[in-house]
Structure 1
Amino acid sequence: MNWARTTAFALSVVLTAGSFPAVAAATEVPAVCASGPASFPKPESAVVVEPGVSLSAKTSEHPPGTTFWLGGGRHTLADDPYSQVIPKDGNVYLGAPGAVLDGRGINRTAFTQHAKDVVIRGLTIRGFAAPQDQGVVNHDSGEHWVIEGNVIEDNRGAAMMAGPRQEVLGNCLRNNGQYAINAYRAGGGITGLVVEGNEIAGNNTDDWEKKSPGCGCSGGAKFWAVDGADIRGNWVHHNHGVGLWADTNNNDFIVEDNLIEDNDAEGLFYEISYNLIIRSNVFRRNALKLGRDFAARGNNFPIGAVYLSESGGEPRIWARTDMIEIAENEFVDNWGGLTLWENADRFCNSPSNTSTGTCTRVVASPSDCAPESIAVSPAYDDCRWKTQRVNVHDNVFRSAPDCTGFCGRMAVLSNYGTYPSWSPYRGNVVSEAVTFAQDNEWFSNTYVGHWSFVAHDASRSLDVAAWQAAPYGQDPCSTFDGAGGCPAR
């Protein structure tokens, strides 16, 4: 959990997704929840499982690679919290029209254990009671599960966990107690994750940040130590918290062609992670609740639609980019724009590091960041997660018409380092670095409406002229309400 947080597209049509009347660009995002589970053909070789027949027993009786066809109607498991379906390698589970697997608030999980290459398609999966941080589908983060065309809704915990090479395609993932997706595997090792064409809506119904303040355990989707993820073409909306949250040593993410709107907190939060491309997305009306809550308390921390916290480009870690590039997106009526933040007191081996026991990906162990070594190179540089090498260009930023005060802000900043006493990052060391020395650049953007800028620390507020002038020199060739830009060549 982050320290600072705790102290136009095509013609649109109106769609109804569950309880959310929403506006979605018709050609850009999938209204999966409005249409229900996808239809898939029944293979001739499939084992038919009708309601009332034990899917767990049928799975146990048949060999790996069996395809099961769940007939229309309500399927249930035994009256035992730990009753579950344990797939074998290569098993396929297909739902006939109207097939529902219902946990009835009794069963904790639906599909579990460590089989590979499992496929789950065309089902409605609801009513399971997974505990905190656990998932209903792929509970144990098995490898290369394909979860496609399902409606997974109204469960406790997460709708699903994610494992290596998992494909999450065209699902409705809504109204789950904690997350739609919890991409976590003990020991790490999640690579090649694909999340495409899903509707991720209304999750965190149990309001985990209120239950456990500062837990960092809520939102639409959460990613932990994932190395390689393509998140494209999703509609992420009305989640009670962050829309998409990558937390702790993630790397090599591409987030593109998504509509991310109406989430209570940031649309995208990328925390102590590396190497990211954010392009061709629409961010709309995000963080209005969070921003207003901060403003009502007089907290001047800049809340944005996108929040980069101790995250940046790192050429030493292989990825499809060695930067964070934020380009060709449209930001409309969000509380704020982008916040680039670096906590001066958060680094490997610091007592202030809320990711306890975690080090940067360029340090072998906390012992490399001991008081006697951290003040000199290479530990001085390598023990910090740095907000660095961020390029923000060719985006459109439109503030809300009634935006005044703490809304409508861009920011690149840190806090005054104070702790621990042996930290070499005390004082303004990190504020100076993140603002002036770590290649964080805005240029060639379009601004419409009220915008102001925060640089160096939360108390330093700038107007457009100061933001563009020395020593900041940001947003060359950008336009502000049609003024500015660079001469045509």
Structure 2
Amino acid sequence: MTTRSRAIPLALGAAGVLALAGVVAAVAPDPGPPAVVPTVQGAPAAPPAPPAAVCGSPALTGPASPPPGAVVVPAGSNAGFDFSTPGATYWFAPGVHTLAPGEYSQIAPGAGATLLGGPGAVLDGNRDNRYAITGRATGVTIRHLTIRNFAAPRDEGVVNHDSGDGWTVEHNTLTRNRGAALMAGARNRIAGNCLADNGQYGLNAYQSGNRITGLVVEGNEFTGNNTEDWEAQLPGCGCTGAMKFWAVNGADVRNNWIHGNHGTAVWADTNNNDFLIEDNLIEDNDGTGIFYEISYNAVIRGNTLRDNAWRTGREFADERDPFPTGAIYLSEADGDARIPARTAKIEVTGNLLENNWGGVVAWANADRFCNSSASTTSDCTLIVGPENTSACSPPAIAREPLYTDCRWWTSDLEIHGNTFRFDPAAVDGGCPVEFCGRMALLSNYGSSPDWSPYQGDVIQRHIVFAAGNRWHDNTYTGPWRFTVPDMSTTVPVPRWTGAPYHQDAGSTFDGRPGR
């Protein structure tokens, strides 16, 4: 979780009550295998319709008869049914399936097993069972099941609870579960699913040691998640939204429709690396559309973000909190060639941002670094190593290499070839001009701990003038303003493009060159 102008702890709290909601409309075919990531420039190609209108569509319906050799799982109680045979295919007959009573009743499939739902096959936890499908078996496949009403605790998951590797989860409906509907492991493919109205997240991806690689999240619909409104239960918990990634080392998130979630849409938090976030339609989410935080090396391109962060932005405005709320939020996000990835920068290109509360916000907390009391994580950077946090202490941290290596800097950002449109009247309920329609490149004045080598305006000057952060060749429509270098200073276009900031070279503002 980030720290900004308000104190935001990482602590996460007790579970609440699940609000039930319905599932919505139609699906597109599976979009295919991962692509190589070239650098692109130019105008965005916004999708004319949702790329993954999955919920309620025929594509979720499984085969009407069991495949040859499949084990038939009858509807009704599946208590005591053996799912542990490696490589077996289990066909769930149409109807509602339940497990044995008790919170720890669950399915633990064997390695390489396939769980396949027939038309209308439902696995129901009756709000009694915590987990639906668990274990560390590799190569499990789950298709065409509706999985609902499981009661995982906060931060835990219902499907792939133990983050098994090599899993394929396709064309399922995961709905009305508590906690996260789905966890993920290395080489997981999550495609063509409806993840709707779950209590905390649709997806929560984490393994210790940055062991999740090759993760693909493609062609899914995420809608209505965080029904338990965890930010209200634990203000500032940073534990809400459509999907959250922790310590993932390689992920493609593309062609998803992420809408109407009660929190952030796509959130990569703490030592993630090598992300491609591409061609998603992200709209009407209460919080930020894309949040890349204390993480490395990402390409964010070809996405359409519209009408996001209205709730979050208004909450800040109501509190007269000047911290800018963006549709894309880059918080201590670094491009760094020392961490192997498909890119060595944070590139935001070819996106359309339309009538969000704000634009791109790039922020560095001067007091947030390894071993600082202001950090919301006990982990250290990937350069030093999360297990070596204590090395970042005085007097060594005041000298190289630790001075550089002990913090996430917000560096090597390139924001180019994007289209930014903003009409304040389009924001539901309106928005105060001093709070919305802002881009930002900023930091705070360093003040703690007392041994910090980053006190004063060191980080403010670095993020603005020395970190290689560039906006250029963008297209702006509407009354955009720019917050730089701190929360107290918002400037018009001529100051942003002129001395001393010299940003947005080659960009146009309402059809005119910046000046």
With the length of structure 1 as denominator, give the TM-score of the two structures: 0.94
Displacement of 1:56 after TM fit? 5.2
Displacement of 1:36 after TM fit? 5.7
The match for 1:436 among 465, 469, 489 is 465
- 2:372 match: secondary structure: coil
- Segments of structure 2 that go 5 or more residues without pairing to the other structure are 8-20, 27-45, 426-430
Displacement of 1:38 after TM fit? 2.0
Task: Summarize the alignment of residues 352-367 of structure 1 with structure 2, pairs less than 5 Å apart.
Answer: 352-356=374-378, 358-364=379-385, 365-367=388-390
Task: Summarize the alignment of residues 310-325 of structure 1 with structure 2, pairs less than 5 Å apart.
Answer: 310-325=332-347
- 1:58 match: secondary structure: coil
Distance (whole Å) between structure 1 residues aligned to residue 243 and residue 424 of structure 2: 30
Contact 1:37 1:123 in 2 (8 A): no
Instruction: Please tell me the residue identity of whatever aligns with 2:74.
Output: E
**Aligned CA distance change for structure 1 residues 420 and 269 (closer, same or farther; 3 Å):** same
Distance (whole Å) between structure 2 residues aligned to residue 280 and residue 222 of structure 1: 20
Partner residue, 2:400: 377
Contact 2:25 2:53 in 1 (8 A): no
Compute the RMSD of aligned alpha carbons: 1.8
Distance (whole Å) between structure 2 residues aligned to residue 305 and residue 397 of structure 1: 11
Distance (whole Å) between structure 1 residues aligned to residue 200 and residue 358 of structure 2: 25
Distance (whole Å) between structure 2 residues aligned to residue 308 and residue 118 of structure 1: 35
The match for 1:152 among 150, 153, 174 is 174
Contact 2:138 2:166 in 1 (8 A): yes
Displacement of 1:296 after TM fit? 1.1
Displacement of 1:400 after TM fit? 2.3
Does 2:326 match 1:286?
no
- 1:431 match: secondary structure: helix
Displacement of 1:34 after TM fit? 3.2
Summarize deviations over 1:130-156 as a string: whole Å, max 9, x none.
Answer: 001100000000011100000000000
Does 2:278 match 1:256?
yes
Distance (whole Å) between structure 1 residues aligned to residue 406 and residue 58 of structure 2: 48
Instruction: Please tell me the residue identity of whatever aligns with 1:359.
Output: C
- 1:190 match: secondary structure: coil
Contact 1:201 1:238 in 2 (8 A): yes
Partner residue, 2:202: 180
Does 2:184 match 1:162?
yes
Partner residue, 1:65: 87
Contact 1:36 1:150 in 2 (8 A): no
Partner residue, 1:305: 327
Q: Which structure exhibits the higher relative contact order, with contacts defined as CA atoms closer than 8 Å and separated by 6 or more residues? A: 2
Distance (whole Å) between structure 1 residues aligned to residue 135 and residue 23 of structure 2: 33
Summarize deviations over 1:414-454 as a string: whole Å, max 9, x none.
Answer: 00000000001000000000011001000010000110001
Displacement of 1:208 after TM fit? 1.1
Does 2:74 match 1:50?
yes
- 1:341 match: secondary structure: strand
Partner residue, 1:391: 414
- 1:283 match: secondary structure: strand
Contact 1:81 1:108 in 2 (8 A): yes
Instruction: Please tell me the residue identity of whatever aligns with 1:223.
Output: F
Contact 2:77 2:99 in 1 (8 A): no
Contact 1:445 1:478 in 2 (8 A): yes
Task: Summarize the alignment of residues 446-485 of structure 1 with structure 2, pairs less than 5 Å apart.
Answer: 446-484=475-513
Displacement of 1:253 after TM fit? 0.1
Distance (whole Å) between structure 2 residues aligned to residue 28 and residue 482 of structure 1: 28
User: For structure 1, which segment, 338-347 or 39-48, has the greater mean C-alpha deviation from structure 2 after superposition?
Assistant: 39-48
Task: Summarize the alignment of residues 413-432 of structure 1 with structure 2, pairs less than 5 Å apart.
Answer: 413-432=442-461
With the length of structure 2 as denominator, give the TM-score of the two structures: 0.89
How many residues align structurally?
473
